[in-house]
Each structure stands twice: as structure tokens, then as C-alpha cells.
Amino acid sequence: MPRRTDLESILIIGSGPIVIGQACEFDYSGTQACKALREEGIRVVLINSNPATIMTDPE
């Protein structure tokens, strides 16, 4: 799939609060998506209402 040049920013909406211990796969996939998009030079805006998420970690 060719890269779209019209996209500068992407909004990612996290999974939000889930049963404790069952959100790691959602956090992992969201984190990988953020990393891949940033590597492509796209600004990522992340919204996730889960206070225990790893997705909002700056690294």
C-alpha cells in the first residue's frame, strides 16, 4: 500500500479501562502502532482513558 502524503497527524483512541490484567495486548498493539507511525514522520495524538496503560509512556 503506498504511503499517503496528505496525512500529517493521526488520532489513536486507546481501549480504555478493561478488567485488570486483560489490557496488555491492547496496550502492546497500540504502542507498536504509535511507534511505527512516528518512525514514518506522522504526528500521533493518543487518547486513552485507562490510567494503568503503558501506551502513554513517552518512550
Distance in angstroms (rounded) separating the CA atoms of residues 33 and 26:
11
- Which residue stretches of the chain are H helix? 24-39
Fold of 1-59: Rossmann fold (3.40.50)
Domain ranges of the chain: 1-59
CB atoms closer than 10 angstroms to residue 37: 16
| Confidence label for 42 from pLDDT (cuts 50, 70 and 90) | very high
| Confidence label for 53 from pLDDT (cuts 50, 70 and 90) | low
Mean pLDDT confidence for 1-15: 87
Distance in angstroms (rounded) separating the CA atoms of residues 17 and 7:
29
State how far Cα 36 lies from the chain centre: 9
